[in-house]
């Protein structure tokens, strides 16, 4: 198995990266390597999973602290890392407690392995063939801003490990081809002597299960699980933010030996809009306004996510003026209130004029006795004189 890369290196960030910059780096890479954008590209798929695993650890303060101190070793042996299925953080020192005292108090610590202790068990641990929880999965879903604002439903299709239909999850072609492992006698552990010491190890033939399958299923190779395409409908709540994760319980990989299935996490990415920029629950847009309307005042229409809205423009509106339309922003997640829409005015100056239009504009300018902007220019240059001394 290839050695795992440093999680900070995977995301291309420094070790002191902030939570916001971490999220930005993750989003960029998740979009780049998303399977939907790289169909059939196994390298991109692997990188997508690697990026997701790195972000899952570094975005959690406790997991990140453990990783910074112990590296990948902090999540080895099912200690709650991305592949452990534990779903939470465990004390990294637990691994030492288990080594010296035996996991769960059931014997099998390092001293018992060497000296054959264990209260009548001859130094042999109980076989580890209990139910195992399936792995959690991650799915990236891109939606437009309109759907994020209103809420929506989406049908998604993804690949997961499910119970093998050929052998109904037994791993055996006949459905009952399990027999006690001869190597370990069904206990899942073997003991070998090294002179004075005895070393206890997981049985290499049954991998600690204590049983072997005599007629393994050809579809799942005796694992009881096989990959299949799955479709589910996902409800996206109104007001969801970019980068949010939705949990679909039990829709991850199917558990082994009757264990529960993992969960599916849908990471929502909101597509950039052509007109609006989102800031929390508020929206911002740049709206061109004709010179005549800005000077004389009037009424114009502005776009919103629900359609058009009327906006009264006072006479003498200046370039860069911002108008606020209350309640025309994004619905607040889990609440009934909405954010606001901020319209930033940009005066549209015509680039081409006919001779008649130019003559009228010159006459208009001369009627002031000065250019309309000269008073403003004089004020500006008075303030700027100190830079030219």
SS3 368: coil
Annotated binding-site ranges for Zn(2+)? 164, 167, 181, 184, 203, 206, 217, 220
Cβ 215 vs Cβ 161: under 8 Å: no
Q: Provide the pairing of β-strand 245-248 with 264-270.
A: antiparallel
Furthest-apart CA atoms within the chain: distance in Å: 111
Cβ 282 vs Cβ 339: under 8 Å: yes
Please report the beta strands in the chain, taking only residues with DSSP state E, as ranges in sequence order.
137-143, 152-163, 178-180, 189-194, 197-202, 211-213, 225-236, 245-248, 264-270, 277-279, 282-290, 298-304, 307-313, 322-325, 341-348
* Domain 277-348: CATH class, spelled out: mainly beta
Per-residue confidence (pLDDT) for residue 103, from 0 to 100: 39
SS3 1: coil
Domain positions in the chain are 1-92, 277-348
Give the domain 1-92 fold. Answer: Helix Hairpins (1.10.287)
Phi, psi of 62 (to 5 degrees): -70, -45
> How many residues are there in the chain?
389
Topology match between the domains 1-92 and 277-348:
no
Per-residue confidence (pLDDT) for residue 377, from 0 to 100: 53
Per-residue confidence (pLDDT) for residue 233, from 0 to 100: 95
Residues 6+ apart with CB under 8 A from 7: 53, 54, 57, 58, 67
Cβ 123 vs Cβ 184: under 8 Å: no
CA angle 58, 60, 63 (to 5 degrees): 75
Cβ 141 vs Cβ 266: under 8 Å: yes
Per-residue confidence (pLDDT) for residue 286, from 0 to 100: 93
The Cα 242–Cα 240 span in angstroms is 7
Report in angstroms the alpha-carbon separations of 116 from 95, 190, 191: 21, 12, 9
Per-residue confidence (pLDDT) for residue 314, from 0 to 100: 94
For the chain, 389 residues long, the average pLDDT of each consecutive 10-residue run is 82 91 90 83 89 91 86 64 40 37 40 38 46 91 95 95 86 77 82 70 79 84 88 95 94 87 95 94 93 89 91 92 95 92 90 83 72 55 55
Per-residue confidence (pLDDT) for residue 369, from 0 to 100: 63
Per-residue confidence (pLDDT) for residue 127, from 0 to 100: 43
Exposure string of 101-127, with b = 16+ CB inside 10 Å and e = fewer, is ebbeeebbbeebbeebbbeebebbbbb
Going by C-alpha positions, the residue among 52, 56, 34, 54 that lies closest to residue 271 is 34
Per-residue confidence (pLDDT) for residue 383, from 0 to 100: 56
Annotated binding-site ranges? 164, 167, 181, 184, 203, 206, 217, 220
Both tokens of 117, joined, read: 């202790």
Query: Model pTM?
Result: 0.56
Both tokens of 291, joined, read: 């010179």
Please report the beta strands in 220-259, taking only residues with DSSP state E, as ranges in sequence order.
225-236, 245-248
Which residues are 159's β-sheet partners? 229
């Amino acid at each position: 198995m290839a050695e795992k890369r440093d999680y900070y290196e995977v995301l291309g960030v420094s070790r002191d990266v902030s939570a916001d910059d971490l999220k930005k780096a993750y989003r960029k890479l998740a979009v780049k390597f998303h399977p939907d954008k790289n169909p059939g590209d196994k390298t991109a798929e692997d990188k997508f999973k690697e990026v997701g695993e790195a972000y899952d650890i570094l975005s959690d303060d406790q997991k990140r602290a453990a990783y910074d101190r112990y590296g990948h070793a902090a999540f080895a042996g099912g200690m709650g890392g991305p592949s452990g299925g534990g779903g939470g953080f465990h004390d990294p020192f637990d691994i030492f407690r288990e080594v010296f005292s035996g996991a769960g108090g059931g014997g099998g610590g390092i001293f018992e392995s060497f000296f054959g202790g264990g209260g009548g068990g001859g130094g042999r641990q109980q076989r580890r063939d209990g139910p195992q929880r399936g792995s959690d999965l991650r799915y990236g879903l891109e939606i437009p801003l309109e759907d994020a604002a209103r809420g929506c439903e989406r049908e998604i299709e993804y690949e997961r490990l499910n119970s093998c239909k050929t052998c109904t999850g037994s791993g055996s072609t006949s459905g009952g081809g399990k027999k006690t492992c001869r190597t370990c006698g069904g206990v899942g552990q073997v003991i070998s002597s090294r002179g004075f010491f005895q070393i206890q190890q997981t049985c290499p033939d049954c991998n600690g299960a204590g049983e072997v399958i005599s007629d393994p299923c050809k579809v799942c190779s005796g694992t009881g699980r096989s990959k299949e395409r799955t479709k589910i409908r996902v409800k996206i709540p109104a007001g969801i933010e970019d980068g949010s994760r939705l949990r679909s319980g039990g829709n991850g990989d199917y558990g082994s030996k009757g264990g529960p299935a993992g969960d599916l996490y849908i990471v929502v990415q909101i597509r950039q809009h052509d007109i609006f920029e989102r800031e929390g629950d508020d929206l911002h847009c740049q709206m061109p306004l004709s010179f005549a309307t800005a000077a004389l005042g009037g009424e114009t229409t502005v776009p919103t996510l629900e359609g058009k809205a009327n906006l009264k423009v006072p006479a003498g509106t200046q370039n860069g003026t911002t108008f606020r339309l209350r309640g025309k922003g994004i619905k607040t997640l889990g609440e009934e209130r909405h954010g606001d829409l901020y319209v930033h005015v940009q005066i549209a100056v015509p680039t081409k004029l006919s001779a008649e239009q130019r003559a009228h504009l010159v006459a208009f300018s001369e009627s002031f006795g000065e250019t309309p902007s000269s008073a403003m220019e004089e004020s500006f240059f008075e303030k700027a004189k100190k830079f030219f001394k």
